[in-house]
Chain A
Amino acid sequence: MDRHARQRLFGYLARGAAALVVAVMVLVVAVTIYRGGRVFITDPAIMITPPGSRYMLEGDGGFLHAVLGSIFIVGPATVVSMTLAVSTAIYLQSDYSSERFSDAVNMFLNVLWATPPIVYGVFVLTIIIAVGARTSLFFGIVAIAIFQYPIMTRYTDEALRSAPDAVKEATYGLGATRFETALMTVRAALPGVIAGVIMGFARGIGDAATVLFTSGRSTNMPAGPFEPATTLPVLIFDQAMSFNAEVRSHAYAAAFVLIVVVLGLIVVSKLLAGRYARYTPGGRHS
């Protein structure tokens, strides 16, 4: 094979690989939407019917409790996590820490980012056992917040890093304190910071392993912060393993809701990031 034929061959291979990945993505989304959408059309009440006590066996009732559980767990977790993540990112970026310390913290953040979610679940569960509590909404929030923290910090850090230096110089030049300067930097990088928070939220809402043992697998509506709750991914995980075909079909309806939410969040964060790139000198040019 001469070198130009090889060039063509690998050109095709690279195209083929990219096409394959895109095709898989389209397949996954299409199957979820088609199967889940079909359940919705035949039985639109599935979304709002409260689940019965034996619904895992008999398939009566829907998944509103899991939708609410997801909101009540991932919402507060995102607020907690965001507060911590933005603070950490500011500390790493501004003139609070030395470069060496920033590097060290970044290393720990990378390691936390790569830590399997199930480990966070086990970690929080050991805390639950240690304090003699039981699985509940509150500990679900704790677990998800820990899970989201490194993800959000990474995105926020990146956004702050690409904020123009001129902002910092100008605010210091006017006699601002470090904190005031930091606030202005966050403001300059706001769309990127928000996009990072949304990505963290999307990851949090899709994760099952962290909440599996920490918030419980309740089939009731979430009743209070120290009562068990469940989230959409946990519900899908449980229902998908059911022997009852009707219960399994409900898993697709729940997956439909989940994927629509996640896709929506990605579109929003992409739009924000796009807007952000346009206002940043030397930003992305695509």
Chain B
Amino acid sequence: MSASTESGDGTDGATASDERIGRRLLTERVSSLWLTGAGYFAIALFVLIVLTLVYQSLPLLSEYSVVQMLTSSNWSPQQNEFGFLPAIVGTIYVTILSMLMGAPIAILAAIYIAEFAEGRTKTIVSSFIDVLAAIPSVIFGLVALIVVVPLVGDYIAPAVGSGATGLGIFTVSLVMAIVVTPFIISLSVESLEALPDELRETSLGVGATQWETIRIVLLRAAGPGIFSAILLGFGRVFGATIVPAMLIGGQTQIPDSLFATGQTLPTLIVNDFGELMSVPIRQSALIFVGLALVIVVWLFNFGAMLLRKRLQQRWQYQ
């Protein structure tokens, strides 16, 4: 600096560097504003979605009582009858059934990947599962139409003495079990792999078999993560739209068997939205379905988070 001042062009150099610093500080200030905005965007979006859905549901909520709508089984928007019970029952059936089918397999597969598989096999199996996770659900629906639907309609349903076309609650549950499995697997693998190796070493060191180690030590230690994975999986199935819309058969009735056709909350929106948009109260009814979906899925989510925290405190292994 002092050398350049002596050589005569010092003032120019000083202003140039001042300018440069000024520009850098300006960039810093502007970018800081933008980034702060982006930081708040997630919260803003969340709030906006809730407010919009609530606001749009108000016309319906001001005219009908929530309890009555949730317990009535008469859904015929053309006559302004909004009973959500059939769709609620359908959604609950599908959610529980697909988790019963999917979760045990997912957890066993996660145990295989985290504890049994090694080296190349492990890489290959887990990338296969990543691929499964990324396949669009519309393709699952499409493949199910020619693989699962005839299978259920021609073999499984008659075997349990139920005449059915193959479209219905059971088919949707089976396919949703497949859709949600990779999701549960990768979360469970994550929590199993996060466990310190000392746990395994200690348990194996006192003479436990590998399975005993897994069952008694590892599943307990990774339990919070696995439970929350299952709960998040519940949320996934609950809000699934495209697969149920393609495979459930779309009749708004309370399903009398697992092979009956039915309706879930999201398919209610898909099947009716096009025609109902013109009448405000019917539109409001479908937006209310959206609101209900969001609330339940978010409850699952917060539940998963709380459960995880609580269990982590209780099942400490350190």
Task: State which residues 147-202 of A face B: CB under 8 Å.
Answer: 149-150, 153, 177-180, 182, 199, 202
Nearest Cβ in chain B — how far from A278, in angstroms?
14
Is there an interface contact between A119 and B129, defined as CB atoms closer than 8 Å?
no
Scan A97-124; emit 1 where CB is below 8 A from any B CB, else 0: 1000100110111111011111110110
CB proximity of B125 to chain A, nearest CB, Å? 6
The interface residues of chain A lying within 8 Å CB-to-CB of B146 are 31, 35
Question: A109 → chain B, closest Cβ, in Å?
Answer: 5
Query: Taking A122-B269, A123-B52, A126-B53 as contacts, is the C-beta distance between A251 and B297 under 8 angstroms?
Result: no
Contact partner, B239, options A84, A88, A118, A208, Cβ 8 Å: A118
Interface residues of B in 203-221 (CB under 8 A from A): 209-212, 214-215
Smallest Cβ-Cβ distance to B240: which chain A residue: A116
Asked if B108 and A13 sit within 8 Å, CB to CB, the answer is yes
Q: Flag whether A41 is at the interface (Cβ < 8 A).
A: no
For B43, the chain A residues whose CB sits under 8 A away are: 104-105, 108
Is the CB–CB distance between A101 and B49 below 8 Å? no
Q: Could you give, for residues 18-38 of chain B, a 1 whenever the CB lies within 8 Å of some chain A CB and a 0 otherwise?
A: 000000110110011011111
The answer to whether A236 and B138 have CB atoms under 8 Å apart is yes
**Among residues 30 to 67 in chain B, which have CB atoms less than 8 Å away from a CB atom of chain A?**
31-32, 34-43, 45-46, 49, 52-53, 56
A92 at the interface (CB under 8 A from B): yes
Interface 1/0s, chain A 229-273, versus B by CB < 8 A?
000010011001100000000011001001100110110001000
Tell whether B178 is near chain A: CB-to-CB under 8 Å.
yes
Contacts of A88 in B (CB 8 A): 38-39, 41-42
Interface size of B as a range? 35 or more
Q: Which secondary structure characterizes the binding site on chain A?
A: helix
B134 x A25 contact (CB < 8 A)? no
Expressed in whole angstroms, the Cα–Cα distance for A18 and B143 within the complex equals 21
Q: How far is the CA of A115 from the CA of B290 in the complex (A)?
A: 10
Contact stretch, chosen from A4-12, A44-52, A54-62, A218-226: A4-12
Contacts from A to B (Cβ < 8 Å): 3-4, 6-7, 10-11, 13-18, 20-22, 24-29, 31-32, 35, 84, 87-88, 90-92, 96-97, 101, 104-105, 107-112, 114-120, 122-123, 125-127, 129, 146, 149-150, 153, 177-180, 182, 199, 202-203, 205-209, 212-213, 233, 236-237, 240-241, 251-252, 255, 258-259, 262-263, 265-266, 270, 286
The 4 closest A-B pairs by CB, nearest first: A116-B239, A206-B136, A87-B38, A91-B39
Chain B positions within 8 Å of A, measured between CB atoms, are 24-25, 27-28, 31-32, 34-43, 45-46, 49, 52-53, 56, 104-106, 108-109, 111-113, 115-117, 119, 122-123, 125, 127-132, 134-143, 145-147, 178, 181-182, 185, 209-212, 214-215, 232, 235-236, 238-242, 245-246, 266, 269-270, 273-274, 277, 283, 286-287, 290, 293-294, 297-298, 300-302, 305
Known: A115-B298, A182-B35, A240-B138. 12 other contacts (CB 8 A): A6-B211, A27-B147, A28-B139, A87-B39, A101-B39, A112-B45, A118-B241, A122-B290, A127-B52, A179-B27, A202-B134, A240-B246
